[in-house]
């Protein structure tokens, strides 16, 4: 009864769930239905349902849901078809463009490539590969290879393979989600820089490459500020989404303390930037629509700049909907808003459903939307500082309820002090992001920029030190947790059942109070 009521109050949630079911079914069946035929069948089912009329509301609803189900199956089959590339299994000569900044890994460098021509034939549909390039013992030319550069290479394209065979994290599926279809290893003599045309790439791909170049120039400015390795790594990850500088020890430290989310650009980061921009432009109150439009343009440009991570896209989509609601004076954040964001992202890329970032991001926000208000109002607090601290604690707890099963499933770990950690991490991240924005604005004034940089250095260093102390506390995390997919579903069913029972108990308690005073 409670679940039915929730679905009726949030119609987009029902549609999103049916789309997800369709995506899962289509992926499992592996159909090869042409896109045009699938969309035509979807349209026939939906239009047929809408024309039935109010007299048969149940049949109408079933037809619409079946249409959404069919749409999900059609889209995922089409997406999987696009990722199907015939690999020769023998060395091939090709031209490609580097789409990520090469990273040094021992005797090799790793980077992403988009292959534009194969055996002297321009491809109508370029494809993405993960590449490893042997550095060589004498030549240092790999150091001059950067994102946006073209190369001519000769190597074998192989099917993607997993680096994590014993983990629940499906690395191959994750690569498919991000558009990769193959991997290759290039001997140091078998590549050269070349002028490669980007004409075969879509406009979006070209814009993304230019954005990556801009990000690298901004990262270079960070390197010139005199930050230590760990300080640079944290600031770069928090502000520009570049995690390449994070050492394994630092990653483990943030994971054990439950602070990994602060290194992945998400609602926290975009929310802070959104608030800063609204604060700076807030004086034009009579032009709210223009202010929101400018801020949203800046937010989406920032999302492209940092590489379009799933969590940032989700956050930007919700901020867009939030801004529209503010301008129109409507209800703001809701489960319907979250469901709409999921619908948009899954229609654009149905494989996002298997992206860990997508799952974690949406479950964290869902947890906050469901649990924040009842838990926060469970205590009546008058002191402003205490209320702020309690609110921060409740947000952390609510997000953890939504994501804990996924964290245990994918990473085999449960951070016991994550609530304590977030009381430290969230204010620190806020200061670092404010500092990053102010630092960019203060570029013409070197003295001011230097002062802001020193403050960022201090905050990031203090944050790393405090998290190091928390990570060394007894029982900081429960390790080596092993659960399967069905156990994850079961845990979420227990959480859902407990939530429904708690709501019933609260209603009964409220009714008893009314009866007492009545």
> Among 47-51, 501-505, 509-513, which range has the highest average pLDDT?
501-505
Q: Is it the case that residue 165 has pLDDT exceeding 80?
A: no
Quote the CA–CA distance of 418 and 132 in Å, as a whole number. Answer: 36
Look at residue 23 in the predicted model and tell me its pLDDT: 93
| Residues 6 or more apart in contact with residue 258 via CB below 8 angstroms | 400, 415, 417, 418, 419, 421, 422, 477
Quote the CA–CA distance of 254 and 470 in Å, as a whole number. Answer: 10
Which helix (H) or strand (E) segment is 151 a member of?
strand 150-155
Provide the β-strand partners of residue 157: 184
Q: Give the torsion sign (CA, 442, 444, 445, 449).
A: positive
Are 393 and 470 in a shared domain? yes
Exposure string over 166-201, b if 16+ CB within 10 A, otherwise e: eebeeeebbbbbbbbbbbbebebeebeeeebebebb
DSSP 134: E
Are 123 and 186 in a shared domain? yes
Chain CA centroid to CA 509, Å:
40
**What are the tokens at 105?**
């890994």
Lowest mean pLDDT among 47-51, 215-219, 309-313, 486-490: 47-51
DSSP-H helix ranges across 229-334: 229-240, 248-256, 267-281, 288-305, 310-328
Are 44 and 138 in a shared domain? no
Q: How confident is the model at residue 137 (pLDDT cuts 50, 70, 90)?
A: low
Look at residue 133 in the predicted model and tell me its pLDDT: 92
Of the residues 151, 170, 201, the one at which a domain ends? 201
Greater model confidence, 10 or 126: 126
Q: Give the range of the structural domain holding residue 32, as residue numbers without chain letter.
A: 1-83
Specify the pTM: 0.86
Quote the CA–CA distance of 17 and 145 in Å, as a whole number. Answer: 44
Quote the CA–CA distance of 185 and 378 in Å, as a whole number. Answer: 58
Q: How confident is the model at residue 446 (pLDDT cuts 50, 70, 90)?
A: confident
Q: Is it the case that residue 146 has pLDDT exceeding 80?
A: yes
**Cα-based distances in Å from 72 to 334, 362, 363:** 23, 18, 20
**What are the tokens at 444?**
């013409």
360 within a domain of the structure (yes/no): yes
**What are the tokens at 118?**
């194969």
Number of domains in the chain: 3
Of the residues 55, 83, 111, the one at which a domain ends? 83
Look at residue 94 in the predicted model and tell me its pLDDT: 94
pLDDT in tens, 348-359: 999 999 998 889
Q: Tell which residue, 123, 305, 289, has the closest CA to residue 210.
A: 305
Read off the pLDDT of each residue in 418-446 and give the average, rounded to a whole number: 83
Q: What's phi and psi for 178, nearest 5 deg?
A: -95, 15
Are 232 and 371 in a shared domain? yes
516 within a domain of the structure (yes/no): no
Quote the CA–CA distance of 245 and 405 in Å, as a whole number. Answer: 28
- The answer to whether residues 288 and 326 touch, using CB atoms and an 8 Å cutoff, is yes
Are 13 and 114 in a shared domain? no
Read off the pLDDT of each residue in 377-398 and give the average, rounded to a whole number: 86
Q: Is it the case that residue 305 has pLDDT exceeding 80?
A: yes
- The answer to whether residues 437 and 276 touch, using CB atoms and an 8 Å cutoff, is yes
212 within a domain of the structure (yes/no): no
Q: Tell which residue, 169, 429, 204, has the closest CA to residue 303.
A: 204
Are 382 and 470 in a shared domain? yes
Read off the pLDDT of each residue in 360-377 and give the average, rounded to a whole number: 90
Three-state DSSP state, 163: coil
State the Cα angle at 437 between 289 and 424, rounded to 5°. 105
Q: Is it the case that residue 7 has pLDDT exceeding 60?
A: no
Q: Is it the case that residue 166 has pLDDT exceeding 70?
A: no
As a whole number, the mean pLDDT across the chain is: 85
Are 239 and 334 in a shared domain? yes
130 within a domain of the structure (yes/no): yes
């Amino acid at each position: 009864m409670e679940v039915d009521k929730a679905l009726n109050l949030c119609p987009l949630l029902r549609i999103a769930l049916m789309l997800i079911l369709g995506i899962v079914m289509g992926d499992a069946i592996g159909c090869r239905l042409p896109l045009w035929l699938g969309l035509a069948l979807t349209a026939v089912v939906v239009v047929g349902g809408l024309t039935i009329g109010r007299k048969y509301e149940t049949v109408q609803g079933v037809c619409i849901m079946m249409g959404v189900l069919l749409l999900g199956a059609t889209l995922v089959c089409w997406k999987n078809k696009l990722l199907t590339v015939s690999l020769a299994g023998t060395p091939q000569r090709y031209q490609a463009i580097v789409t990520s900044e090469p990273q040094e890994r021992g005797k090799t460098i790793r980077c992403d490539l988009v292959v534009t021509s194969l055996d002297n034939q321009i491809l109508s549909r370029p494809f993405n590969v993960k590449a490893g390039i042997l550095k060589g013992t004498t030549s240092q030319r790999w150091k001059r290879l950067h994102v946006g550069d073209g190369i001519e290479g000769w190597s074998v394209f192989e099917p993607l393979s997993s680096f994590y065979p014993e983990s629940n994290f499906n690395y191959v599926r994750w690569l498919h989600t991000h558009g990769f279809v193959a991997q290759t290893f290039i001997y140091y003599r078998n590549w050269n820089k070349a002028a490669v045309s980007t004409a075969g790439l879509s406009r979006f791909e070209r814009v993304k490459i230019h954005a990556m170049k801009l990000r690298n120039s901004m990262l270079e400015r960070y390197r010139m500020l005199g930050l230590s390795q760990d300080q640079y790594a944290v600031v770069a990850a928090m502000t520009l989404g570049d995690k390449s500088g994070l050492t394994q020890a630092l990653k483990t430290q943030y994971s054990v303390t439950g602070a990994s989310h602060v290194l992945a650009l998400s609602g926290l980061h975009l929310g802070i930037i959104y608030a800063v921009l609204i604060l700076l432009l807030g004086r034009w109150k009579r032009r709210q629509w223009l202010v929101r439009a400018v801020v949203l343009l800046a937010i989406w440009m920032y999302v492209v700049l940092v590489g379009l991570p799933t969590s940032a896209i989700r956050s930007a989509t919700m901020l867009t909907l939030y801004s529209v609601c503010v301008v129109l004076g409507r209800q703001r954040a809701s489960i319907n808003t979250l469901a709409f964001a999921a619908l948009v992202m899954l229609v654009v890329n149905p494989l996002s459903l298997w992206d860990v970032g997508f799952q974690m991001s949406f479950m964290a926000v869902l947890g906050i939307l469901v649990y924040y208000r009842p838990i926060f109002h469970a205590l009546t607090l008058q002191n402003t500082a205490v209320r702020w601290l309690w609110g921060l604690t409740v947000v952390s707890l609510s997000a953890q309820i939504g994501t804990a099963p996924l964290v245990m499933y994918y990473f085999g770990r449960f951070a016991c002090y994550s609530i304590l950690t977030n009381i430290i991490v969230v204010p620190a991240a806020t200061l670092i992001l404010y500092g990053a924005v102010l630092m960019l604005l203060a570029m013409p004034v070197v003295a001011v920029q230097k002062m802001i940089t020193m403050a960022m250095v201090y905050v990031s260093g203090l944050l790393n030190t405090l998290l190091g102390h928390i990570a060394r506390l007894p029982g900081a995390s429960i390790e080596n947790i092993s659960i399967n997919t069905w156990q994850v579903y079961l845990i979420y069913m227990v959480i859902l059942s407990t939530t429904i029972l708690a709501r019933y108990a609260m209603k009964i308690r409220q009714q008893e109070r009314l009866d007492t005073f009545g």
